């Protein structure tokens, strides 16, 4: 592995997902030198700083420190735009949690700002870089199921447990930019784009169920009995038409206690059953013309929860002068697709995409002893 000068990094937003990021970015990736963290609640950043041996900082201190090159933005979805914009204006590269922003206009503004300032802007999800979907990419590119013609993505996972929380803090599950189609559907959309290429048109239906009737149900919650604000669609069904002519049925719902995941690509010579794209590993099955289902050994590294992988890849992109795999173009494109499904349901019209993207460069197969080498490209 080549030796690089590490990229000094700070994390803004010490909420639920920050532990996974800090654990991986501090200990799993040699390219990152995580030096500090901040949060709107100082007690949270203090706890994370102590746990990971880094400095507790304010946002202002992070942005004013000229030695910090990369900001990882793990704030709430509605805060992604403002935090990322401030970091870009301060001359920092940015890697954001999903989605990149709550609106397409905000996302395009961030992308333009990064371009003007010659900075890299990346965004989760990065699970498509894991062993499962990288193995699937290798199978597709080798033509083992022929030409892809159709796909299906079904995602049902209930958010009803949210009403039994004891804290009054508004959660991303029901905030703009954070409902099921954005919060978890983005894993499927990002996986599909990296397997099949950009989307041409979408159509769909969307609903916001129980927006005025769902209440906080735990007596220990200060908001007990009050209405939970649901500000984003929670039941959507759409169809995606890719530029490659593949058609995909795409369903997301957070309105059932049943948990169902299905992610399949159908080709002219077989079909490919994919792992849950919210994970990095998992089983990959190929069904041939004979109907036989074959379990395919994973060919790539990163089988466990390696969130932060996209940030590490972006750091290598900084040093190598290349594009980041989990870059802004795909993040903007998948956000537009999700918004297009919702907009189509409201207008009753097909929605033609205004953005495009390219499939990210695949990771090298077979690198397991030193998996970080797969990013050094």
The string of pLDDT tens digits covering residues 8-60 is: 999 999 998 999 999 999 999 999 999 999 999 999 999 999 999 999 999 99
Give the number of other CB atoms < 10 A from CB of residue 268: 11
**Structural domain containing residue 71:** 7-126+305-326
In a domain, 352, yes or no: no
Give dist(CA 285, CA 330) in Å, integer.
26
pTM of the model: 0.95
Q: Environment class of residue 204 by beta-carbon count within 10 Å: exposed (0-12), middle (13-18) or buried (19+)?
A: buried
pLDDT at 3: 74
Give dist(CA 326, CA 194) in Å, integer.
10
In degrees, rounded to 5, the angle at the alpha carbon of residue 326 between the alpha carbons of residues 68 and 281 is: 115
Look-up of token digits 């590993």:
281
Q: How many domains does the chain have?
A: 2
The string of pLDDT tens digits covering residues 276-302 is: 999 999 999 999 888 888 999 999 999
* pLDDT confidence tier of residue 1, bands split at 50, 70 and 90: low
Instruction: Provide mean pLDDT across the span 258-264.
Output: 91
Are residue 147 and residue 282 in the same domain, yes or no?
yes
Are residue 267 and residue 166 in the same domain, yes or no?
yes
Give dist(CA 242, CA 259) in Å, integer.
27
Are residue 176 and residue 29 in the same domain, yes or no?
no
The string of pLDDT tens digits covering residues 177-193 is: 778 999 999 999 999 99
- DSSP string over 177-242: T-SHHHHTHHHHHHHHHHHH--EEEEEEEEE-TTTTT-B---TTSTTTTSBPP--S--EEEEEEEE
Are residue 122 and residue 132 in the same domain, yes or no?
no
Are residue 103 and residue 248 in the same domain, yes or no?
no
Give dist(CA 285, CA 279) in Å, integer.
16
The string of pLDDT tens digits covering residues 304-360 is: 999 999 999 999 999 999 999 999 999 999 999 999 999 999 999 999 999 999 999
Are residue 115 and residue 63 in the same domain, yes or no?
yes
Are residue 133 and residue 266 in the same domain, yes or no?
yes
Give the residue, 213 or 77, on which the prediction is more confident.
77
The string of pLDDT tens digits covering residues 142-168 is: 999 999 999 999 999 888 778 888 887
């Amino acid at each position: 592995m080549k030796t690089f000068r590490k990229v000094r990094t700070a994390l803004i937003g010490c909420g639920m997902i920050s532990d996974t990021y800090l654990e991986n970015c501090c200990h799993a990736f040699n390219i990152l030198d995580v030096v500090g963290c901040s949060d709107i609640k100082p007690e949270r950043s203090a706890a994370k700083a102590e746990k990971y041996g880094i400095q507790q900082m304010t946002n202002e201190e992070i942005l004013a420190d000229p030695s910090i090159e990369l900001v990882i933005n793990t704030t709430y979805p509605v805060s992604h735009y403002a935090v990322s914009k401030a970091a870009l204006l301060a001359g920092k590269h940015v890697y954001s949690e999903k989605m990149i922003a709550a609106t397409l206009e905000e996302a395009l503004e961030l992308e333009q700002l990064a371009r003007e300032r010659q900075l890299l802007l990346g965004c989760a999800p990065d699970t498509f870089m894991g062993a499962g979907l990288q193995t699937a990419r290798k199978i597709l590119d080798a033509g083992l199921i022929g030409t892809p013609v159709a796909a299906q993505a079904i995602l049902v996972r209930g958010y009803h447990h949210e009403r039994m929380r004891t804290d009054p803090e508004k959660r991303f599950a029901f905030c703009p930019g954070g409902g099921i189609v954005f919060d978890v559907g983005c894993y499927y959309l990002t996986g599909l784009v990296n397997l099949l290429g950009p989307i041409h048109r979408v159509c769909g239906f969307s609903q916001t169920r129980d927006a005025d009737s769902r209440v906080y149900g735990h007596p220990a919650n200060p908001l007990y009995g009050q209405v939970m604000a649901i500000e984003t669609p929670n039941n959507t069904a759409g169809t995606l038409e890719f530029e490659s002519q593949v058609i995909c049925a795409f369903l997301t719902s957070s309105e059932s206690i049943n948990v169902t995941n299905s992610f399949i690509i159908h080709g002219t010579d077989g079909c490919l059953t994919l792992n849950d794209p919210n994970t990095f590993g998992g089983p990959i099955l190929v069904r041939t013309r004979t109907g036989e289902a074959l379990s395919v050994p994973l060919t790539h590294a990163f089988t466990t929860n390696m969130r932060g992988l996209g940030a590490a890849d972006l750091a290598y992109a900084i040093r190598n002068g290349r594009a980041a795999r989990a870059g802004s173009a795909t993040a903007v494109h998948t956000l537009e697709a999700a918004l297009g499904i919702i907009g189509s349901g409201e207008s009753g019209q097909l929605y033609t995409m205004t953005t495009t993207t390219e499939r990210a460069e695949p990771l090298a197969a077979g690198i397991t002893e030193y998996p970080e080498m797969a990013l050094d490209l």
